[in-house]
Amino acid sequence: MAAAGEAPRPEELLYGEQELVPEAAGWGHEPGSMLSRFDQALLAGWSDRMERGLFRYRLGALPTRLLPGPMGLVAQLNAQRGTQRRPPQPVCSLRQPFNPQDFNFTRIHPDEVLFCLRRAGDGCHAAPDPLLVAINASPLERGHVLLLPEPARGLPQALTAAGLRGALEALLLSTHPGFRVGFNGLGGYASVNHLHFHGLYLPRPLLVESVPAQPLCPPHCFSLLRDVPAPAFLFYAAGPAELEALARDMCRAAEHVAEAGLACNLFATRGDPPAGPGGRRGLRVLLWARRPSFGAKASTAFNVALCELAGYLPLPSEPLYREMTEAEALRNICEPLLPEPELLRLGRALARLLVPEGAAPAAARQGAPRGAGAAQLLPT
């Protein structure tokens, strides 16, 4: 019981490794018929807070359409988010420190917290950071939450391995095919400079979940996705045992990206192996390096952050939603991204960082399309 004057402690949802499911229910099933304990707790708590008026607006069914074209872009109209959300904080640096005077997640109302997600220790492996799971008061979709790694620590919006691993485990606790996890870095349209991830249920499958990738350093399942709305570096984990190494490698890659003066965005989803459809599905985690955008973002503009880069377009106005074409969307999405020669140079640098020279025998290549190799992808 909380002492007098203290905020009540949130309910704890304790989970074990056996609840981490690499494969979710397929899109052919009725999603609500196969929800996990995590999904049930999240969606029930989210709906309860909506009924209690804790959001900035009441979210009903959102108009959604598939844009004609090969990229399968999903456009969705959410005008209320554009006009009623809390103004995003201005960002002036990739290394901007946490400022306790600014809005941060220690200031949210206790009732906005759904539960604390904590991994049960097994005595053998270090557990990821516990996560507070809180509503996003300006939601993109039903079930949109914030995953907050120990907010009392006051960490800025920069990836940590323990925090990322916790967020990826949250994704694997869901059995809903539409649950994804994402991260916007500083300069990548992060709205609050306090470490957080987004968890949200999106209504459709996306191309980034199935298109084959070209290997960069295959033993670590590090590849490049090219035939997608926004070319991205792909990290892949076949199961829960690989999450710790994946989170560590992604943080090393993100740090290298920041040292190069670039911002990053991240999108995690279940998907096919790097070679494409045909094998057992696992976890795809996409990392985009992009030119940073500083200052406060405009809530009513088409800002390019994690959702847009992945091919899901939340649009703030009816004319934009009605008139948007795939070609126009792709022009906006690609504007902050690196030209291909720069992207390939960065890919070579990350491959050297993640797998030192001589440590990656050719026989160990995993998930590579037939005939594809790092030398073919990365010309000298």
> For residue 282, how many other CB atoms are within 10 A of its CB?
21
Cα(58)–Cα(50) distance, rounded to whole angstroms? Answer: 7
DSSP secondary structure letter of residue 160: -
Residue (of 267, 262, 321) closest to 294 by Cα position: 262
Cα(286)–Cα(235) distance, rounded to whole angstroms? Answer: 6
Burial class (CB in 10 A: 0-12, 13-18, 19+), 333: buried
Cα(363)–Cα(353) distance, rounded to whole angstroms? Answer: 20
Put the strands of the sheet holding 64-66 in their side by side order: 64-66, 74-77, 312-315
* DSSP three-state, residue 200: strand
* Cβ density class 77-101: b for 16+ within 10 Å, e for less: bbbbbbeebeebbebeebebeeeee
Residue 150 Cα to chain centre, angstroms: 18
* DSSP three-state, residue 95: coil
Please give the structure tokens belonging to residue 215: 């290997």
Tell me which residues are annotated as active site: 196
235 and 285 in contact (C-beta within 8 Å)?
A: yes
- Mention every residue, 6+ apart, whose C-beta is less than 8 A from residue 281: 22, 23, 270, 271, 272, 273
